[in-house]
Amino acid sequence: MTLVKEAPVRPAGKRSAAPAAGRRGRRRENLAGYLFMSPWIAGFLLLTAGPMIASLYYAFTRYNLFTPPEWVGFDNFTTMFQDPRWQKSVEVTLKYVVVATPLKLLLALGVALLLAQKRRGQGLYRAAFYMPSLIGASVSVGFVWRALFSDDAIVDRTQKIFGLDVGGWIGNPDYVLYSLVALSIWQFGAPMVIFLAGLKQVPRELYEAAEVDGAGPLRRFWNIALPVISPVLFFNVLLESIHAFQVFGSAYVVSDSRCGPADATLVYTCYLYQKGFKEAQMGFASAMAWTLVIAVALVTAVLFWSQKKWVHYEEAAK
């Protein structure tokens, strides 16, 4: 243990006295660094950067996997923008993102506020609420969802009690997307846990002082808790909306394998999958993928720009 105390920062004079050793040491550190991260570098070049360049190239070609790619300029993009199914997929995806993300975050925040109170069995509740987040991606749950939302099953019968007779949601093009929204909201555990961690940072004294001053729970939440958790809220909004743009499995499994009926759940990636892997239109699919990248980058940029207006970082206070 004494060793720890005796490890001083090397005096500045000594370093200049032995510049050669320092340079050699630095070179050795560089080498060690690059050796340790060589898996990541290989992965980045082979599976990320390389494919990105390739897909950018494919986006401007006609490519069916069997004959070499043929340069077509902006053809894929102009065809895409005029394609009614592509337009439909954009509409379906935007609807999904705009409805599912806020509802999911609202539920996550609500339950997090509930669990932030010190009560017995807190850990057990937290674990139980988190579980759907892990199993929700499974095909098994997709089947369960299909069963719950089909004609004459629990959802259908429950809504009949309230006098709504729309039948099961799975077969109804107007409703089937909302069964996917429900599946997404059901997996509110991950953002909930992040909210909970954020709520722990709220200073108790501040909260209690506000209570003494007669601030109600709503006011305390709005004026004290919300500013403190705003960075966490920002993180959750960013992550959940990016995820929502990329939904695939649930649309493929819950609605039928063609993302229907009547293209009602034709989310963007489902159409991309159909174009690329069913119709072997790799160029078109790549153009779709890049359009998605640009859309996600725009959403990210807008969110980052907006955070100046509503996200409070602690640095200002310190």
Partner 1 sequence: MTSATTPVVRSASERRRTGSIAWHVGALAVLAVVLYPVIWVVGASFKPSKDIIASLDLLPTEPVWANFSGLADGISGISISSFFMNSLMYAVLAVVGVVVSSSLTAYAFAKIRFAGRNLLFTLMIGTLLLPYHVLLIPQYVLFRNLELTDTLVPLVAGKFLATEAFFVFLMVQFMRGLPRELDEAAKLDGCGHLRTYWSIVLPLTRPALITSAIFTFINAWNDFMGPLIYLNTPEKYTVSLGLMMFRDQEGISNYGSMIAMSLVALIPVIAFFMAFQRYLIDGMATSGLK
Query: Which of 65/209 has CB closer to partner 1?
Result: 65
Across the chain, which distance is largest between two alpha carbons, in Å? 88
Query: Which of 190/264 has CB closer to partner 1?
Result: 190
Output the smallest distance, CB 135 to partner 1, in A.
5
Structure-derived torsion over alpha carbons of residues 96, 98, 102, 104, reported in degrees to the nearest 10: 10
Give residues with Cβ within 8 angstroms of 48, minimum separation 6.
none
Helix (H, G, I), strand (E, B) or coil at 84: helix
Output the smallest distance, CB 168 to partner 1, in A.
9
Q: In angstroms, rounded to a whole number, what is the distance separating the alpha carbons of residues 106 and 191? A: 10
Query: Which of 33/203 has CB closer to partner 1?
Result: 33
71: which strand partners? 61
Q: DSSP class of residue 144?
A: H
Output the smallest distance, CB 88 to partner 1, in A.
18
Is residue 232 within 8 A of residue 198, CB to CB? The reply is: yes
Output the smallest distance, CB 206 to partner 1, in A.
19
Output the smallest distance, CB 151 to partner 1, in A.
8
Reported as type and span, the H/E element at residue 71 is strand 70-71
Alpha-carbon 151 to chain mean position? 31
Nearest Cα residue to 259 out of 100, 142, 99, 135 = 142
Output the smallest distance, CB 91 to partner 1, in A.
18
Query: Which of 143/222 has CB closer to partner 1?
Result: 143
